[in-house]
Amino acid sequence: MKAVAWHGKRDVRVDNVPDPTIQEPTDAVIRITTTAICGSDLHLYEVLTPFMGEGNVLGHEPMGIVEEVGPEVTNLSPGDRVVIPFQISCGHCFMCDQGLQTQCETTQVREQGMGAALFGFSKLYGEVAGGQAEYLRVPQAQNTHIKVPDGPPDERFVYLSDVVPTSWQAVEYAGIPDGGSVAVFGLGPIGDMSSRIAHHRGHRVIAVDMVTERIERARSNGIEVLDAREHDNVPEAIREMTDGRGPDSVIDAIGMEAHGSPATGLTQQIAGLLPDAAAQKVFEQGGVDRLNVLYQAIDTVRRGGTISLIGVYGGMADPIPMLTLFDKQIQLRMGQANVKHWVDDIMPLLTGDDDPLGVESFATHRLPLDDAPHGYEIFQKKQDGAIKILLRP
């Protein structure tokens, strides 16, 4: 089959690789009909390369049709239409019972000290072959799937794999009070969808970005937008918009690749040049995250407010302004999205006659799988208005 494989920094290719097969009785194999490039994939493309292996198959946002199931998968049948969550979870361990599928005790990558295994996401998360391919082996398939109805286009459901539940959790973790306000830093796919969800719930949303196409896209959806290029002090500008005290909540949807942190950016580049074993230690134990947006979030949120971190951070964070966090009595929540925990809340918004979150028009680009390298390039470089790219095998 064809699959998108990693071959080095900024080097992904469509390779011919062996078709997946049932290896464990809890496996399934699906034929992928739509898959996507995620902003997290760009971390593997650019920053987290020391954790990648030559030929790793990428991708963690697929959906498709069940082709085959193992003997212990009794709730799926060939022909079922499914979305595959980005994390692999058993559904019956202590953590899954808590709704914390990203911490699944059955699939935790203990040798790396990490949580649940993820599709297509490096040695850190189990080095499981990903979903930017024609077919996908799904471990723990009895739980690692979301059945969706036939009929509506894939665009209605494919974002259940990551974008919508991740954004939903970002809003939930932000703890926005009824009638309250939230500032969203970053209007990539997750920041954009988080803004839509918060706006749909009746909150005041102030979104921050510096890419013209992203700003205009959010504005067209009724979101208040602040262009960071036009303000020397973004937190101060947001305070002026919120009675001088700041918003009730802030969502950081950018994470470790924020602009405005040149020294840490240089550290990331140097680490990427080291042998993998040495570079891994730098990323795990060194201050390689660009914290500019986190600092702005701490400055922006009102006293007693909440910061929700949904943008991925990948290393030690140093220094952290603990005095300010403590003095302002800020609550901080974060983590990978527990996809299946939120599905029942989200599904009614996807299956009705209307499309309140605009999922059918959310993608900016639809490309054949063979054009995945081009998709990665324009997404990473923010060219051609690329915000969300779907791939069709």
Domain count for the chain, please give it: 2
CB count within 10 Å of CB 389 equals 23
- pLDDT, residue 311, reads 84
Give yes or no: residues 282 and 195 share one domain.
Answer: yes
Last residue in a domain, options 303, 334, 365: 334
Q: Which two tokens stand for residue 315?
A: 């290393």
pTM for this one? 0.91
Give yes or no: residues 47 and 126 share one domain.
Answer: yes
Q: What is the pLDDT of residues 103-155, one digit of tens each?
A: 999 999 999 999 999 999 989 999 999 999 999 999 999 999 999 999 999 99
Give yes or no: residues 371 and 319 share one domain.
Answer: no
Give yes or no: residues 124 and 256 share one domain.
Answer: no
Average confidence (pLDDT) per 10 residues, the chain, 393 residues: 96 98 98 96 83 95 98 98 98 98 98 96 94 98 98 97 98 97 97 98 97 96 96 97 98 73 42 45 47 94 97 73 96 97 98 95 98 97 95 97
Question: Buried (b) or exposed (e) across 314-339, using 16+ Cβ within 10 A?
Answer: bbeeeeeeeeeeeebebebbbebbbb
Give yes or no: residues 145 and 169 share one domain.
Answer: no
**How far is residue 86's CA from residue 160's CA, in Å, rounded to a whole number?**
9
Give yes or no: residues 301 and 355 share one domain.
Answer: no
Q: What is the pLDDT of residues 269-325, one digit of tens each?
A: 434 444 544 444 434 444 445 688 999 999 999 999 999 999 877 666 667 899 999
Nearest to 128 by CA among 185, 175, 89: 89
Give yes or no: residues 256 and 370 share one domain.
Answer: no
Give yes or no: residues 139 and 181 share one domain.
Answer: no
- pLDDT, residue 387, reads 95
Last residue in a domain, options 334, 359, 382: 334
Nearest to 29 by CA among 117, 128, 119, 136: 136
What is the CATH classification number for the domain harbouring 374?
A: 3.90.180.10
- pLDDT, residue 269, reads 46
Q: Are 267 and 288 in contact (CB under 8 A)?
A: yes
Give yes or no: residues 128 and 12 share one domain.
Answer: yes
Give yes or no: residues 175 and 151 share one domain.
Answer: no
Burial of 263 (0-12, 13-18, 19+ CB in 10 A): exposed
Last residue in a domain, options 318, 334, 350: 334
Give yes or no: residues 204 and 280 share one domain.
Answer: yes
Nearest to 182 by CA among 162, 200, 159: 200
Q: Which domain holds residue 384?
A: 2-162+338-392
**How far is residue 274's CA from residue 226's CA, in Å, rounded to a whole number?**
38
Give yes or no: residues 239 and 102 share one domain.
Answer: no
**How far is residue 298's CA from residue 357's CA, in Å, rounded to a whole number?**
28
- pLDDT, residue 107, reads 98
**How far is residue 54's CA from residue 122's CA, in Å, rounded to a whole number?**
10
What is the CATH classification number for the domain harbouring 232?
A: 3.40.50.720
